[in-house]
Amino acid sequence: MKIEIITIGDEILIGQITDTNSAWMARELTQRGFDIRAVTSVGDCPDDIIRALDIAFSRADILLLTGGVGPTNDDLTKQTLCRYFGTPLIFSEEVLKQNESLFQRRKIPLNLLTRNQAYVPEAATVIPNSTGTAPFLWFGKGDKVLVSMPGVPTEMKTAMREEIIPRLEKQFRVKTYLRQMYLVTGMTESALAGHLAFFEDNLPAGFSLAYLPSGGYIRLRLSAKGEEHAAEMARQGTVLKQLLASSCISESDQKPEELLGEILREKGLMLSTAESCTGGFIAHLITTVPGASAYYKGSVVSYDNQIKEKMLRVKKETIEQVGAVSREVVEQMALHVAEEMDTTCALAVSGIMGPDGGSEEKPVGTVWIATLCGRELLSQEYHVGRGREQNIERTANLAIVQLINMMQRDPV
């Protein structure tokens, strides 16, 4: 079943927000066997919206629209859908009630703009929005379907999970999408592709291999469509696993921080971190995983060298002699944060993220990472690149991967 996603809003076309809804929807729907053919973003302009609907309906069975349904005047999706489907707006007491109770819970009075959210297209099936004021609108067009949703991520996600996806699965039959993921570290994308060239060229028809590089690791996806490929999928997966050998640290679709959490939880170990150049991003990655408090105690973000000395007991002489970006400093940071926070495992980083701060000897992108697990302490130097934000992300991932590698190799 072919789906197209259309996101509506000037804020996307002028680049003031990044559309993260489409990726979320695409992921959820692909896993259930739906086939996303295209994602299109257009502005809050009725003619552009209608043109996008025509194009999308000409090649897809299901159109999912997000955005342009807020209470303010710049939002025009509802009116445009009325024009497209030739249907008037009618007042829904049910939506009004829903919104009144929502505002009561938030202790805010319901204003006129929000009251107007209760006008809905007569031809649409209204699906209540349990977390916001704009209802979900479901239109039929012959065998095809269009669903209009708010662009607020939490509202969209809640209703997609609870209402929209179940209804789509009921109305449309889909082929199972088979896939196997591999989390690969320590290789560039082209080196990995060279290594797998023969395997890839000899994959059976209907199978495909995709490389999804992130800063610091690559996710590899082997996929095929249809339950009939299940046995062959298992066979190819085993071959691929052998080819990847120790470069593959996981066969799940987990992110490194999720895998690390799982390992720590299984082994019953606690972790602490000491971050300089990553400025809290490692702690953030670790704590985005629900339940991280079971294995993570905290972090000292020692952005200033004084803090490294005072709170992590890094020796002043060490910093003076070899600099803050050095093996000696990250090792002291890791050992001392583990002591201070009373954890078996620790992770420490120091580096130069740019754009300034580089030198001939230590250019922007130079990073030292130390990982501690019990009595074993490992420190390594990396060179991550040029852009500040990418460097922070890449360094955080490399640090987490280094600790995973260490824990997988030498069980505590």
The packing angle between helices 256-267 and 388-409, to 10°, is 30
Q: Would you say 248 or 283 has its CB closer to a copy of itself?
A: 283
| Listed ranges 80-88, 142-150, 202-210, 242-250: which one lies at the site for a copy of itself (CB under 8 A) | 202-210
Cβ proximity to a copy of itself, 126 vs 203, nearer residue: 203
In the region spanning residues 222 to 261, those forming contacts with a copy of itself, defined by CB under 8 A, are none
Q: Which of 356, 360, 361, 411 binds a copy of itself (CB under 8 A)?
A: 356
Q: Which of residues 332-351 bind a copy of itself (CB under 8 A)?
A: 340-342
Output 297 or 327, the one with its CB closest to a copy of itself: 297
Closest CB 304 distance from a copy of itself, rounded Å? 4
Three-state DSSP at 191 gives: helix
Both tokens of residue 287?
């704590």
Task: Give the one residue of 304, 320, 376, 410 binding a copy of itself; rule: CB under 8 A.
Answer: 304
Q: Where are the beta strands (DSSP E) in 60-135?
A: 62-66, 89-91, 119-121, 125-127
C-beta of 36 vs 398, nearer to a copy of itself = 36
Q: Does 176 bind a copy of itself (CB under 8 A)?
A: no
Q: Report the site for a copy of itself in 2-21 (rule: CB under 8 A).
A: 10-20
Q: How far apart are CA 290 and CA 309, in angstroms?
A: 32
385 contacts a copy of itself (rule: CB under 8 A): yes
Binding status of residue 50 toward a copy of itself by CB under 8 A: no
Phi, psi of 65 (to 5 degrees): -110, 135
Distance CA 67, CA 64 (A): 10
**Which C-beta is closer to a copy of itself: that of 88 or that of 198?**
198
Report the C-alpha gap between 9 and 7 in whole angstroms.
7
- Considering the rule CB under 8 A, would residue 301 count as an interface residue with a copy of itself? yes
Q: Sign of torsion, CA 14 18 21 23? A: positive
Smallest gap from residue 87 Cβ to a copy of itself (A): 25
**Of residues 77, 83, 111, 334, which one binds a copy of itself by CB under 8 A?**
111
Residue 253, amino acid: D
Stretch that binds a copy of itself, among 87-95, 239-247, 258-266, 278-286 (CB under 8 A): 278-286
Residue 324: CB minimum distance to a copy of itself, A: 11
Q: How far is the CB of 264 from a copy of itself (least distance, A)?
A: 13
Residue 123 or 233 having the CB closest to a copy of itself: 233
E strand spans, 128-268: 136-141, 144-149, 177-184, 208-214, 217-225, 248-250
Identify the residue among 61, 257, 258, 275 touching a copy of itself (CB under 8 A): 275
CB 236 within 8 A of CB 207: yes
The contacts of residue 324 (CB under 8 Å, 6+ apart) are 276, 305, 308, 350
Which is nearest to 373 in space by CA: 335, 399, 336, 401? 335
The reply on whether position 313 binds a copy of itself by CB under 8 A is no
| CA 198 centroid distance within chain | 31
